[in-house]
Amino acid sequence: MTSIKKIAVLGSGVMGSAIAAQAANAGYEVVLLDMVPKDAKNRNMLAEAGVQKQLESKPPGFTHKRNAKRITCGNYEDDLDLLKDCDWIIEAVKEDLTIKQNIYNKVDAVRKPGSIVSSNTSTLPLHMLTSGMPESFTQDFMITHFFNPPRFMSLLEIVPGGTTRTDAVDAVSDFADKALGKSIVTCKDTPGFIANRIGVYWMMQGLQEAMKRGLTVEQADAVMGVPAGMPKTSIFGLFDLVGIDLMPLAAKSMVTALPEKDVFRKTYNEPLLLTKMIAEGNTGRKGKGGFYRLKKLGDRKIKEVIDLKTGEYHPESRPAPMESVAAAKGGLRALLEHGDEGGQYAWAVLSNTLCYAASLVPEISDNISAVDEAMRKGYNWKSGPFEMIGKLGVDWFCDKLKAEGRDVPPILEQARGKKLYVVENGMRKAFSMDGSYVPVAQPEGVLTLADIKLHSQPIIKNASAALWDMGDGIVCLELTSKANALDADTLSMIEQTIPLVQKDFKGLVIGGDAENFSVGANLGLIKTAAKAQAWDQISAIIKRGQNAMMALKYAAFPVVAAPSGMTLGGGCELLLHSDAVQAHTETYAGLVEAGVGLVPGWGGCTQMLMRHVAVNQTQKLEGWFASEGRTVAAIRDISTVFQSIANGKFSGSAEEARDMKILREGDGISMNRSRILADAKARCAEMVKDYTPPVPQKIYLPGRTARMALNTMVDGLSWVGRVNSHDVVVSKALANVLSGGNTSTGKALGESDLLKLEHDNFMELVKTPATMARIEHMLETGKPLRESNSTRSNRSAGQSR
């Protein structure tokens, strides 16, 4: 099998530069080539501009800005020789067959034997791309269709040709899975492959049905988003995100290539509104706006939305509540059965989409599981089309189609009276066209709790957490509350887990399958207790949390945290008290309590301070204890930690979390979300050998000297109006914790001393009305409170520095 060590990307546009960035994120050297613009002084300007765009985009295409240095920029005229030592060459140029084949001929003249060439095309069939090319080229060629943005969208559709080497497909699949973090779906060479064939149809149905029924953009998106099991962007938000100008191009390309009787071809009709918007530059987020836009009004921006009838913009308004949307809490079927305009719209769009998807098997794929995977990973649907039909009930769906005089797809007729997915002997199986069930296989090295749950029960569980046996003496602590917020039940589970693991197992992994590791402590419980002035109750939960975290840190067995997504506040504190971390590359970790007017209370301040000091210095002081080595916190270390916590800073990736010392140098990063638990388990099993718990440390803090320095900075920012009065209170409480309170420089402080400072300052802050206002606002909106200039926003000291 070809070993992929160096990659080339041809074409530095939106997709090409983003693919190059993701390969660089994985740690590989990349060559990025593009054309030489006419009369250009810098012949590499297009490739260099592509890299710069990935650095500047929000969010950036790079997981760390230093990764851009792994990309060598060049052009097709001067630098084709750079392809000679590349193992995988990815073409991402304009969707023009002549241009692509011209590139292939140039590549084939210089590439090394056995190197793999692929196209990122989303519209052109493989047999047309390779027409006229020698067999030595076609056997190394395939389509690899990335989804935008490649950093965040995990789907990779691979389309091999009739002569493509099996080992070449295996090499790309293995590399893209493990190094690039992709979920691989092998597709047939059909127009739009799987995800776009269904996804573009769904989007166009959503647009056309909304216009036909006289719904507003806001109404349609309110129905076709979360209530329907789709992303929050829904239909019109997704149009804006993808690019309104690209959708007609993709649709027309497919319509041209599709069979005459295909439903897509028969129903597609580009609305005049779309044509008008494109002509006026309203192409979505990349243009002047789209179905939504931000309009500057004085010193603020207001969100506007287009009227689907007139094409005019007006301020966005929240649509009147629809009963169908509320009914959707009872499941998708409750939404589709509801008779109001929202329910009728949802049925029209989804029945057409699900029916179309089912009719495409086996044309686009022999496996319904591949279709479901493509839609979940390519369009972020909560469930794929066959999974949705399964939840609705195959018979119910077929009967409803029949009642409306519509044709039922053959695979659904075949599945009447059966389930589309079953579990047999702990293995998930999917229905196939011949009426049998075939295994839904996971790639080797992938481990999910969903798979474990197919054949086992939790060791112990409660309302907020569960403990699962991963095998080989390792157990997994899964957080299960809403957004994995930490509460008394979470702490109870930790308290039960530690003696149980010590008695019957070898190591502990903290993680799960959820999108986010943990958003932190349950603020709702703190709010309720504070409203009742139950201060003893809040004090007890802070102390209990501290004890639980310390028990994890000093357990007699290794503890490995496996985070991904939001890992905030208390969730971050779990990482800081673990022996090791195996993080997904998209881990956004930080101590953000200052945003709600608090300081970290479960050891976050203590552990961050000790990590910075341990990394930056272990020194001997001159004078009264010059003869003894001491671990001393310099003011610069304290200031770094202070600014990070006061700002509510969190990482934009696992690599940035390492810079913040939330991850240590030995901690691991997994590119593929599906591999985190397996990687964390392997790490934990390795640590079991000769494991020794950490030795408690003491630290020397400057006390009053550091506190005065930090407070002076805070007062200066307050004087110029950069922070408000409560920011000052919160920041000075944090300064008190990190400086060691009233300690003298010659006194060593243990973790218990610093934890008491965290507790005491937390308790002082939680009693203030301003902190309570921030907590209530966060609970209501999910966002930090943005206050006026006179009581300036939640930006704490140092944020503007």
pLDDT of residue 632: 73
DSSP state string for 752-792: HHHHHHHHHHHHHHHTSHHHHHHHHHHHHHSS-----GGG-
Percentage, residues of the chain above pLDDT 90: 84
pLDDT of 558-596, one tens digit each?
A: 999 999 999 999 999 999 999 999 999 999 999 999 999
- To the nearest whole number, what is the mean pLDDT of the chain? 93
Q: What is the pLDDT of residues 241-270, one digit of tens each?
A: 989 998 888 888 888 889 889 999 988 888
How many angstroms separate the CA atoms of 500 and 30, rounded? 48
What's the pLDDT score for residue 251?
86
- At residue 789, the pLDDT reads 37
Average pLDDT over every residue of 409-416: 96
**pLDDT tens figures, 498-555:** 999 999 999 999 999 999 999 999 999 999 999 999 999 999 999 999 999 999 999 9
Output the pLDDT for position 107. 98
Please tell me the predicted confidence (pLDDT) of residue 476.
98
Cβ proximity of 31 and 74 under 8 Å:
yes
Between CA 701 and CA 635 the distance in angstroms is 9
Strand, helix or coil for residue 73: strand
782 φ, ψ (degrees, to nearest 5): 75, 10
CA 570/CA 491 separation, integer angstroms? 11
* Tokens read off for 174: 């293995």
Instruction: Please state, in angstroms and rounded to a whole number, the distance separating the CA atoms of residues 476 and 506.
Output: 11
Q: How far apart are CA 40 and CA 36, in angstroms?
A: 7
DSSP conformational letter for 37? -
pLDDT at 634: 82
Confidence of residue 777 (pLDDT cuts 50, 70, 90): very high
Q: How confident is the model at residue 616 (pLDDT cuts 50, 70, 90)?
A: low
- Structure-token match 């990025």, residue found: 32
Q: Using one digit for the tens of pLDDT, what is the confidence trace for 83-101?
A: 999 999 999 999 899 999 9
The answer to whether 429 touches 420, Cβ cutoff 8 Å, is no
Cβ neighbours, 10 Å, residue 489:
17
Distance (Å, whole) CA 139 – CA 521 = 55
Residue 433 has pLDDT above 50, yes or no: yes
Three-state SS for 25?
Answer: helix
Angle between helices 272-279 and 246-257 (to 10 degrees): 130
Cα gap 612→591, rounded to integer Å: 15
pLDDT on residue 797: 32
Q: Per-residue pLDDT for 800 more than 60?
A: no
Q: Model confidence over 283-311: pLDDT tens digits?
A: 998 889 999 999 988 888 899 999 999 99
Q: Give pLDDT, residue 628.
A: 42
pLDDT 10s digits, 686-721: 999 999 999 998 888 888 888 999 999 999 988 988
**For residues 37-64, average pLDDT:** 96
Tens of pLDDT, residues 156-201: 999 999 999 999 999 999 999 999 999 999 999 999 999 999 999 9
Please determine, for residue 793, whether its predicted confidence score (pLDDT) is greater than 60.
Answer: no
How would you label 114-135 residue by residue, b for 16+ Cβ within 10 Å and e otherwise? ebbbbbbbbbbbbeebbeeeee
- Is residue 341 predicted with pLDDT exceeding 70? yes
What is 511-540 written as a DSSP string?
Answer: --SSS-SB--B-HHHHHHHHHTT-HHHHHH
In terms of phi and psi (left: phi > 0; alpha: psi -120 to 50; beta: otherwise), the region of 631 is: beta
In the prediction, which pLDDT does 419 show? Answer: 97
Is a pLDDT exceeding 70 seen at residue 279?
Answer: yes
Q: What is the pTM assigned to this prediction? A: 0.92
What does the pLDDT average to over 773-787?
86
Residue 430 has pLDDT above 80, yes or no: yes
Q: What is the pLDDT of residues 10-45, one digit of tens each?
A: 999 999 999 999 999 999 999 999 999 999 999 999
Q: How many helices (H) and strands (E) does the chain have?
A: 32, 25
pLDDT in tens, 193-247: 999 999 999 999 999 999 999 999 999 999 999 999 999 999 999 999 989 998 8
367 touches 430 (CB < 8 A): yes
Cβ(413)–Cβ(405) under 8 Å? no
Q: Which of 200, 203, 252 is nearest to 95 (CA)?
A: 252
Distance CA 677, CA 365 (A): 29
What confidence score (pLDDT) does residue 624 get?
Answer: 30
